[in-house]
A and B are shown apart, each in its own frame.
Chain A
Amino acid sequence: MKESPVTSSIEEQPSRRTFLDALIACCSAVAAVALAAPAGLYLWPAAKGGGGEKAEVEGAKSLPVGGSKMVQLGAEAVILVRQREGFAAFSAVCTHLGCLVKWNTEKGQFICPCHAAAFGPDGEVLGGPPPSPLPRLKVQEAGDKVYVSKT
């Protein structure tokens, strides 16, 4: 018996069940995204405002030539060195894996205690695994106070 055109066209269209299944799946997906999105934003660290632009290095003026001092600038550690030409400040965070460098007065270098990286007095890599030099920071002298800042 030949299939009637009406029957065959009804069978080709999606059934009510299929439509409802798809609708429920879409609504569930939207609900899941609606629940997950604020949770994802919640997990993203909130920005901590302020405190990172400028920091005074206390006692900097009393440092001898070749002396150094560590100070916190926001979340970052900064090392100030008194060189013959004046003060120089660098990020103290080794560019290899984040340990803090120390100024070695004898060698005139910044040395990282973790993997023996060495940086010159200008922050350039002299040896070891670091991929890039120490970022230089700005030093400002105002009277007997010394400030370091990123810009």
Chain B
Amino acid sequence: MDRPGRINRFLEQRYNMEAVRGFVDKQIHKRLPPHTGWLHVFGSLSLFLFISQTITGILLLIYYRPTPKEAHESIKYITADVQFGWLYRQIHAWGASVMIAAVVLHMVRTFFWGAYKKPRELTWVTGVLIFIVTITFGFTGYLLPWNQIAFWATTVGTESANKVPVIGDWLQYFLRGGDAVTGETLSRFFVVHVIILPWVLTGLVAIHLFLMRANNLSTLEPVGEERPMDPAKGIPFYPVHVAKEGVVIVLLLAVLVALSVLSPWEIGEPADPLETPEHIKPEWYFLPSYQLLKYFQGPYGAVIGVFAVSLPFVFLFFWPFIDRTKERHPKKRPLSVAIGLFALSSALVLGILGYYSGKQVTLFGQRYRVTELGWLEPAANEAHPERPAKSEPALIIPGE
């Protein structure tokens, strides 16, 4: 008897392999709705990126040291001395941003296709939780290199915690492990990033996938009018949709490697608690919140600002229970689509304003300074315009 046959016989004598094979077969050959296409790959892409982050994260863990004295040095060691350490570090750093983008795109597709509606509300709710955990991954991981940008981004981020009414001071003290960002903060963020969040996300993803498979992918038919799918018309998950996902994953890997080589993340200067660098900005996924916070000023501004920044997440979480209309097709629910487009464009505008705030730009031949609130004012010294720093290219509109 050949080896595969022997292994199968060994397993069959001990376990109900017919049930296992039946389950796997059913999942692999499940039929998806006919409209399932390239826009339905972002969920699998997000899952792939989570696996990639886990693997590269484990590799980095071997050499990373989570103390203020050694963290920055260990990153330098990984980048300069460990074989392919630079590659794994870059893939991990870029992978974080790409994963957040993939999750957002997946949510956007789900939103506009109305796939969050009954009976898939809980799938959406677990998806929102996955989104929040993914952003928290980014926030906690950002501190670990212990460079200037990491230190001060975390200082500002955790400072916002004390604006929460009643429990704010305790919350900030707990998050930081003390009054200021120190080695205690680094320890806590390390544990959260490396142990707690991976398990939480694994659990959420497992529930999310189970719920998704239980209901199958949504069609574009109205709620309550979904017809049982004709298997002859459905798209087989394997090999058709798996092939599409495979193509996208290979492209994604190529993009990650290209970014790692062509636009590597800097190691930066070691954290200095006595020097805040000029013009520090958070990562792109925090820019909309960063900019929005600036519009709430005065003694209660920060408190109101923190609530304003939290509101989108609350709306996202409860959205399937707010939008109870039956239609799924985007053309048949203009109000939801308008709200979605408004939210996306607001986030985009705030993000752009956040990026350019404090910088000088050239518009139609005139030099302007973008204020912190996003207004344009003539640049202070027009006789000798500042050359933009290499890492902060000015926006130049043709006309100069």
Q: Give residues in A with beta carbon < 8 Å to B.
A: 43-45, 48, 70-72, 74-77, 92, 96-100, 102, 112-116, 128-129, 131-132
Contacts and interface: CB of A to CB of B under 8 A. Distances in A.
Given A48-B178, A76-B180, A115-B372, A129 B297 contact: yes
A97 B160 contact: yes
10 contacts: A75-B179, A98-B155, A98-B156, A99-B155, A99-B156, A102-B276, A113-B276, A129-B296, A131-B298, A132-B299
Given A45-B173, A99-B155, A75 B178 contact: yes
A114 B156 contact: yes
Contacts of A76: 179-180
A112 B276 CA distance: 9
Contact of A72 (B274, B301, B358, B372): B274
The 3 closest A-B pairs by CB, nearest first: A98-B159, A100-B276, A75-B180
B274 A77 contact: yes
Interface in B139-162: 152, 155-156, 158-160
Query: Which one of B180, B184, B277 has the greatest number of beta carbons of chain A within 10 Å?
Result: B180
B97 interface: no
Interface in B272-291: 273-280
A92 B180 CA distance: 13
B177 interface: yes
A99 B159 CA distance: 9
A44 B158 CA distance: 16
A98 B174 CA distance: 16
Contacts of B294: 115, 129
B182 interface: yes
Query: Which one of A76, A98, A100, A113 has the greatest number of beta carbons of chain B within 10 Å?
Result: A98
Nearest to B170: A44
B302 interface: yes
A113 B280 contact: yes
Contacts of B174: 43-45
A96 B371 CA distance: 17
A116 B184 contact: no
A102 to B, nearest CB: 8
Nearest to A45: B177
B277 A113 contact: yes
B156 A131 contact: no
Contacts of B297: 128-129, 131
Contacts of A44: 174
Given A43-B174, A115-B294, 11 more contacts: A45-B173, A76-B179, A98-B155, A99-B280, A100-B274, A112-B276, A114-B156, A128-B297, A129-B302, A131-B298, A131-B302
Nearest to B160: A97
Nearest to B152: A99
Contacts of B280: 99, 113-114
B182 A97 contact: no
B201 to A, nearest CB: 21
B342 to A, nearest CB: 25
